[in-house]
Structure 1
Amino acid sequence: MELFILNFVGTALEIYRYLIFGYVLLSWFPNARESFIGQMLGKIVEPYVGIFRKFIPPIGGVIDLSPIVALLALHFISIGIQSVLIFLFKMV
């Protein structure tokens, strides 16, 4: 059961990483974020990425680095959560 929880959390965080990456890719195409998929991804991704946008201004007003920092933070959060779960379930 513990292994299932660990795998589930890891998979959920990995899927969220792909959603952020997909949202960033949509910004490369004109009007893609206004599509149904773009709006759906925006509702899922923007609350998390928006936190980083408050602190990291775009470079030259055009290049937004906040999704990169958000992905990096999500990676460290994932490692932390999995480490805590391993510690709690005493898995080696």
Structure 2
Amino acid sequence: MISLIFTVLNWGFELYTFAIIIYVLLSWFPGAYGTAFGRFLTRICEPYLRLFDFIPPIFGLSFAPVVALIVLGLVQYGLFGVLSTLTGL
């Protein structure tokens, strides 16, 4: 049962990471955020990405999504480390 919870949590983190990557790639296509899919990704990605708006763009490129993905990966790694220690897996 615990391994199922780990698997579901891991899939959740992976799906959210993938959603952020797609959201960032949509910026290359004009009007992509106006589609239903673009609005959906905006609703789920923007609240998290807004936490990293304090990072200034460098040469016109925002590295906030990169930092957000790194932090998300670290949280995933840390959470699974703590949970596996607590459960003995």
Corresponding residue for residue 57 of structure 2: 58
Question: Which structure is richer in relative contact order (CA contacts within 8 A, separation 6 or more)?
Answer: 1
Tell me the distance in 2 between the aligned counterparts of 1:73 and 1:10: 15
**Whole-Å separation in 2 of the counterparts to 1:5 and 1:84:** 14
CA-atom RMSD in angstroms: 0.9
Give the structure with the larger helix fraction: 2
The 2-side partners of 1:84 and 1:15 are apart by 21
TM-score, with structure 2 as normaliser = 0.94
Residue aligning to 1:80: 78
> TM-score when scaled to structure 1?
0.91
Could you tell me which amino acid in structure 2 is paired with residue 57 of structure 1?
A: P
Q: Distance in 2 between matches of 1:80 and 1:9?
A: 13
CA distance in 2, matches of 1:68, 1:28: 16
Alignment: residue pair count: 89
**Which portions of structure 1, spanning 4 or more consecutive aligned residues, are displaced by more than 3 angstroms?**
none
1:10 aligns with 2:3: no
1:78 alignment partner AA: Q
What are the Cα deviations for residues 31-84 of structure 1, in whole angstroms up to 9, with x where unaligned?
11111111110000000011001x202224x31111110001011000011111
Q: Deviation at 1:85?
A: 1.1
**Counterpart of 2:34?**
34
Report how far residue 12 of structure 1 moved. Answer: 0.4
Q: Which letter does structure 2 place at the counterpart of 1:75?
A: G
Consecutive unaligned residues of structure 2, counting only runs of 5 or more, are none
Identity %: 39
Q: Which runs of 5+ in 1 are unaligned?
A: none
Partner in structure 2 of residue 25 of structure 1: 25
